[in-house]
Amino acid sequence: MNNKTSITDSNEAQIQENIANWQAPINPLAPLTEDQLDLVYQLEDIIKAEYFGEETTQDTAEKLEELQLIDSNKAFIKWFIQVENEVKNENLGNFKDFTISYTNKVKMLKNYLNILVNQLNTYNHY
């Protein structure tokens, strides 16, 4: 039993060390990007505001107002479908922009090739 306790203590010590080194300034176990850190700080502000009544920064307060209250499975599904549709529409918009640009380039190339063919035909007649 004593051996089991020492293994548990050893595991606990390793876990504590990993947590301490998770975002260490030198050689972190899992470095976060600036955007990820920004999100963590915003979440911290939101949690402090919601649960502890602390003041939030202006930026976080604006984002907090944008959040929808999700208090049921139905509300979550509705929110998820809305977000999914927004992402789909954004991707479709990007695809439409790409296809319009590509089509315009193909039309320009076709016109240019038609001019070249006409010039060659004119040249061959002489």
In a domain, 108, yes or no: yes
How many folded domains does the chain comprise? 1
| Domain membership of residue 77 as a residue range | 69-126
Whole-number Å distance between alpha carbons of 75 and 29:
36
Q: What is the dihedral of CA 80, 86, 88, 93, to 10 degrees?
A: 180
Q: How many helices (H) and strands (E) does the chain have?
A: 4, 0
Average pLDDT over residues 101-106: 92
In a domain, 9, yes or no: no
Q: Which residues contact 34 (CB under 8 A, 6 or more apart)?
A: none
In a domain, 110, yes or no: yes
pLDDT tens by residue, 59-99:
655 665 666 666 777 777 888 888 888 888 887 888 888 88
In a domain, 27, yes or no: no
Up-side HSE of residue 82: CA atoms within 13 Å toward CB?
Answer: 9
In a domain, 46, yes or no: no
Residue 65: both structure tokens together: 């107002």
Q: Residue 103 — very low, low, confident or very high, per pLDDT cuts 50/70/90?
A: very high
pTM given for the model: 0.32
In a domain, 17, yes or no: no
pLDDT tens by residue, 18-59:
777 776 778 877 777 888 878 877 777 777 777 766 665 666
User: Residue 4's CB: how many other CB atoms inside 10 A?
Assistant: 8
In a domain, 45, yes or no: no
In a domain, 55, yes or no: no
- 30 CB burial (10 A radius; 0-12, 13-18, 19+): exposed
Whole-number Å distance between alpha carbons of 45 and 2:
44
